[in-house]
Amino acid sequence: MQNSTIKSWRNSSWITGANQAYIECLYIEFLTNPFSVDQTWRSIFENISTTNINQKRTCFSSKESSLDLNIDYFSSQNTTEKYNTTDYSVKIWKLINAFRVFGHLNSNTNPLSLNKKNTIPELELSHYHFSDNDLENKLHTSHYFSNDIGDIKLADLYLRLHNTYCGSVGIEYMHLTDSDERKWIQKQVELIKQPTVFLIKEKKQILNDLTKSESFERYIASQFPGAKRFSLEGGDTLIPMLNILIQHARQKNTSKIILGMAHRGRLNTLINVLGKKPQDLFNEFSGQEPVFQGSGDVKYHMGFTSHIKTESGSVHLSLAYNPSHLEIVNPVVMGMTRAHLDHLNKMDQSQILSITIHGDAAISGQGVVQETLNMSKTRGYQVGGTIRIVINNQIGFTTSNPEDSRSTNYCTDVGKMIMAPIFHVNSDDPEAVIFVTRLALDFRYIFQRDVFIDLVCYRRHGHNEADEPSATQPMMYQIIKNHPTTREIYASHLKSEQVITQKDVLEMFQRNRNLLEKGDYIAPIILNKSQKDDSFNKPLTISNLIKTYTNTSNITIDYLKALAIQINTIPKEITTHPRITKIYKNRSEMAIGYRPFDWGAAENLAYATLLDMGISCRLSGEDIRRGTFFHRHAMIHNQSNGSIYCPLKHINENQGNFDIWDSILSEEAVLAFEYGYSITVPDNLTIWEAQFGDFANGAQVVIDQFISCGEQKWGYRSNLVMLLPHGYEGQGPEHSSARLERYLQMCSENNIQVCIPSTPSQLYHMLRRQILSRLQCPLVVISPKSLLRHPEAISSLEDLASGFFELVIKEVDKLSIASLKRIILCSGKVYYDLLQRRRQNNNTHVAILRLEQLYPFPHQVLKSLLEQYSHVKEFIWCQEEPKNQGAWHFIKKHYRRTLPLGAILRYSGRPPSAAPAAGYISLHRQQQEDLLHDALTIKES
């Protein structure tokens, strides 16, 4: 059978990379006993078996087969012995493959030996009916392995395989569809004597790191008994593991490492890895010194930034702040990493490394993990691979039975969805941990993929130090109580190797204890670098926002016109869809003044002005390139060849980067990613758009814990923009409301901006203001749906060139102020419904004002505008949302401070409702009619 035929098999729908090993095993079964396989397969395999030896060599070439049958060896045997030799060799191959596939199930990775090993017949020599003479036979290792160590007895080979795959390390990699990745791992681990790879000084450094970890935990426990610290005890090997990652990464040209982790071991990591000064931490325990001005956060949520010295140079470390929501920090770290890579123009992905540390119950239980992994190889979110470490203490909170905590064999099985290799390792074997750590990091750099390290350990105390774990895990904690620490185990091992003496052990422990008592630095930091997260400039106050933006918004009409023409001119070689042709034709007419600007044209022009200044823009969201409502079309798909043209990427040679990415179907992980991106590059405009506003419900953790309070808790300043489509158009309860009330409830201390722009020019100025004012404050935009093409929601080129973002828009019709009896205050789409109805009714007694920014509330601007209406006593707040939702409850307290003396504010809108909107179009229309009638009808007294 020819090579092309084999390739066509493997490209078929049923022969995938995941099935390759299975098919090859079937072929081996066929060679042993042709009638042991199905007739269909037998017919296929007979075509191979009846061909000559050279064709067999082609079939199982090293590039195509993970089993690599060595036909040269077969052909060297005489004809009468060929079948027996092949049968013997096939059994060897089956034995080797069994260890590769199933060895991890029998590995010795649990330091507490709690789990019973599985009985895997394929891992036993007896399964293959080898004779005693067979065990003494010598094999040529070059026939079976990439590593050629010469001849080896079958008995010794079996021992080597057992030590490799069933020792302190259990490796899962045969699910990888890339044969190069599988073979690379095999070459690194098979026939290698792992303990021989460490120098004496490296062994001493491992012991010293374990000593630092244990010393720290003991010292904190003695000085602050009962205080929550989420001890690392039982998982102490994390410290040498992280330190070797830093050292090894720097050798690979990595200059920056971004780390995300939850609580377990965080304080230990801060002191012994990132170089936080112990005295600063002790002061925090004592409550003596606030970290910065703000509400702050508990110690085990805090982040840190430092520069660490290594033999290969310094490394910048950044531990991301994060809340108690466990895995949510992971996509934030991904966003921070991608921001740095984009800043480097992705020249070398090895320069930035992301590391995430997970809990065993959390990584299998939290959906954001799956979302984050799903992003890991997509174009807009990939970061060149992440090292993902699981501190697997075999007990989440109080649930240690895997049958209650997950439905998979391992907590790391989620990693298989992206074909990531998974290394399970016994934390009580530090050398095995370090071996795996180096191996995982090398894999990441070579293949640019995520790697999982399952650090199987235990938790010496309860979930926190006040918890009593033996109440729910009596058997586990009887073992833990009598179990020596990892430091003690490894120190004993090194003494037996005569690497150290007992005196060395005691001196090492005392030396680290002395450092803690002095409160001085322990990690090898560079002191002339800032040790605090100072990457954010002090923000401007809200009161300076308008003034600052106005000073940077002087744009001439000629400049704006030329730029608009440029970004709306499509090269002749691009064949556009007829509907896109019409959209861009209209936009070209807008550019020269023949048409007013609509929403999409104004938005793209705002980006163009910023890009032309050298400011980069990043947008992401579900179908954001086209726009959910077919309005943006920032990317044009060539109908002739499928290529993509982006006008905003062709402004000038020195323009800022314009990246717009259709995201995966996720809100939580993607929004967290963009938040991480925004805090890292504050000079960029970063935007996330929800497909519909209420889709942000799926990202509520990000909004609650990061966007709304990240600055107050941690000093994180973000200019992230959230575009949330909102508007009651009869689409039912799921696509009408962006849940405006939730954002307004969070508003305090100038933490976020909440705006509802009602014209294209308002959107244009709002987006520019967000970056040019350098406010560093998240912007929540309740953006429109029907207004995208509303005939009244338009703006002129002059509005864009000379205007600014108006916090409140005054009455647009010429009404007699003296004849006014009522003032309607509103925001968003309902304004146009009110305006249309008022004009239809020729109602000249009611003025309508638009509030474009709800928070920070524009008291002074509104008060000045209302001075001309001092005689009016009846004011209405009109909204489309139900009374218990929307802006009413937030807005009424602010209006009462602003309205003229003696004025009354009344509500006009939908009645209170459990659902955001009616599901029946008839009910929706009736409610809309009622609220318009109520708002505009003045009852004669």
462-517 tens-digit pLDDT: 888 778 888 888 999 999 999 999 999 999 999 999 999 999 999 999 999 999 98
Sheet of 685-689: strands edge to edge? 658-662, 617-621, 685-689, 721-725, 779-783, 753-755, 853-855
**Of 705, 709, 708, 712, which is closest to residue 293 (Cα–Cα)?**
712
Rounded mean pLDDT, 870-892:
95
- What SS3 class is residue 790? coil
Question: What pLDDT, on the 0 to 100 scale, is given for residue 88?
Answer: 82
- Beta-bridged to residue 850, according to DSSP, are 809, 826
Which are the contacts of 140, defined by CB distance < 8 A and separation ≥ 6?
73, 151
Flag whether pLDDT at 14 surpasses 70: no
566 — pLDDT class (breaks 50, 70, 90): very high
* Contact in structure between 628 and 725 (CB atoms under 8 Å): yes
**Of 509, 433, 531, which is closest to residue 213 (Cα–Cα)?**
509
Measured CA distances, 573 to 100, 425, 563, 565, 583 (Å): 53, 57, 21, 18, 18
Flag whether pLDDT at 331 surpasses 90: yes
570-582 tens-digit pLDDT: 999 999 999 999 9
Question: What pLDDT, on the 0 to 100 scale, is given for residue 283?
Answer: 85
**Tokens representing residue 245 in the block:** 């990652």
- Beta-bridged to residue 372, according to DSSP, are none
Whole-model pTM: value is 0.89
34 — pLDDT class (breaks 50, 70, 90): low
Range from 108-117, 373-382, 645-654 carrying the lowest mean pLDDT: 108-117
604-625 tens-digit pLDDT: 999 999 999 999 999 999 999 9
Rounded Cα distance, 245 and 338, in Å:
20
Question: What pLDDT, on the 0 to 100 scale, is given for residue 465?
Answer: 78
Flag whether pLDDT at 51 surpasses 50: no
Eight-class DSSP state of 668:
H
Report angle CA 382, 375, 738 to the nearest 5 degrees. Answer: 125
Flag whether pLDDT at 347 surpasses 70: no
Question: What pLDDT, on the 0 to 100 scale, is given for residue 741?
Answer: 96
79 — pLDDT class (breaks 50, 70, 90): very low
Q: Are both 195-518 and 808-936 of the same fold?
A: yes
Rounded Cα distance, 925 and 729, in Å:
9
Question: What pLDDT, on the 0 to 100 scale, is given for residue 32?
Answer: 56
Rounded Cα distance, 722 and 776, in Å:
14
* Contact in structure between 900 and 822 (CB atoms under 8 Å): no
Rounded Cα distance, 639 and 353, in Å:
39
Rounded mean pLDDT, 780-801:
95
Question: What pLDDT, on the 0 to 100 scale, is given for residue 287?
Answer: 75
Question: What pLDDT, on the 0 to 100 scale, is given for residue 533?
Answer: 42
The number of residues in the chain equals 941
Flag whether pLDDT at 341 surpasses 80: yes
Report angle CA 13, 17, 18 to the nearest 5 degrees. Answer: 95
Q: For the chain, how far is it from start to end, CA to CA, in angstroms?
A: 98
The percent of residues in the chain predicted with pLDDT above 70, rounded, is 87
The most confident of the ranges 296-310, 313-327, 872-886 is 872-886
Question: What pLDDT, on the 0 to 100 scale, is given for residue 68?
Answer: 40
Rounded Cα distance, 661 and 341, in Å:
16
What ranges in 301-351 are assigned the alpha helix state H?
A: 329-343
For domain 195-518, say whether CATH 3.90.230.10 is its number. Answer: no
Question: What pLDDT, on the 0 to 100 scale, is given for residue 534?
Answer: 40
Question: What pLDDT, on the 0 to 100 scale, is given for residue 346?
Answer: 64
Rounded Cα distance, 395 and 264, in Å:
12
**Of 380, 399, 542, which is closest to residue 463 (Cα–Cα)?**
399
* Contact in structure between 701 and 325 (CB atoms under 8 Å): yes
DSSP string, 221-257: HHHSTT------TT-TTHHHHHHHHHHHHHHTT--EE
Residue that wins the pLDDT comparison between 196 and 652: 652
Question: What pLDDT, on the 0 to 100 scale, is given for residue 59?
Answer: 40
Question: What pLDDT, on the 0 to 100 scale, is given for residue 521?
Answer: 87
> In this structure, which amino acid lies at residue 732?
G
Flag whether pLDDT at 363 surpasses 70: yes
Burial track 77-111 (b if 16+ CB lie within 10 A, e otherwise): eeeeeeeeebebbbbbbbbbbbbbbbbbbbbbbbb
540 — pLDDT class (breaks 50, 70, 90): very low
868 — pLDDT class (breaks 50, 70, 90): very high
* Contact in structure between 612 and 655 (CB atoms under 8 Å): yes
369-428 tens-digit pLDDT: 999 999 999 999 999 999 999 999 998 888 888 888 889 999 999 999 999 999 999 999
Cα 795 to chain centroid distance, Å, stands at: 38
Rounded Cα distance, 571 and 590, in Å:
18
Class of CATH domain 542-802? alpha beta
User: What's the whole-number average pLDDT of the chain?
Assistant: 87
822-833 tens-digit pLDDT: 999 999 999 999
**Parallel/antiparallel/unpaired status of strands 658-662 and 808-809:** unpaired
Ramachandran angles phi, psi of 434, nearest 5°: -70, -40
Question: What pLDDT, on the 0 to 100 scale, is given for residue 89?
Answer: 84
Structural domain boundaries in the chain: 3-192, 195-518, 542-802, 808-936
Rounded Cα distance, 183 and 112, in Å:
32
* Contact in structure between 910 and 939 (CB atoms under 8 Å): no
25 — pLDDT class (breaks 50, 70, 90): low
Residue that wins the pLDDT comparison between 707 and 117: 707
Measured CA distances, 196 to 193, 246, 423, 495 (Å): 6, 22, 20, 16
Ramachandran angles phi, psi of 587, nearest 5°: -65, -35
Flag whether pLDDT at 686 surpasses 80: yes
Rounded mean pLDDT, 333-339:
96
Eight-class DSSP state of 314:
E
833-864 tens-digit pLDDT: 999 999 999 999 999 999 999 999 999 999 99
- What SS3 class is residue 847? strand
CATH topology of domain 808-936: Rossmann fold (3.40.50)
Question: What pLDDT, on the 0 to 100 scale, is given for residue 103?
Answer: 95
Question: What pLDDT, on the 0 to 100 scale, is given for residue 343?
Answer: 87
Question: What pLDDT, on the 0 to 100 scale, is given for residue 148?
Answer: 82
Rounded Cα distance, 855 and 713, in Å:
20
810-826 tens-digit pLDDT: 999 999 999 999 999 99
Rounded mean pLDDT, 767-784:
93
**Parallel/antiparallel/unpaired status of strands 313-319 and 256-261:** parallel
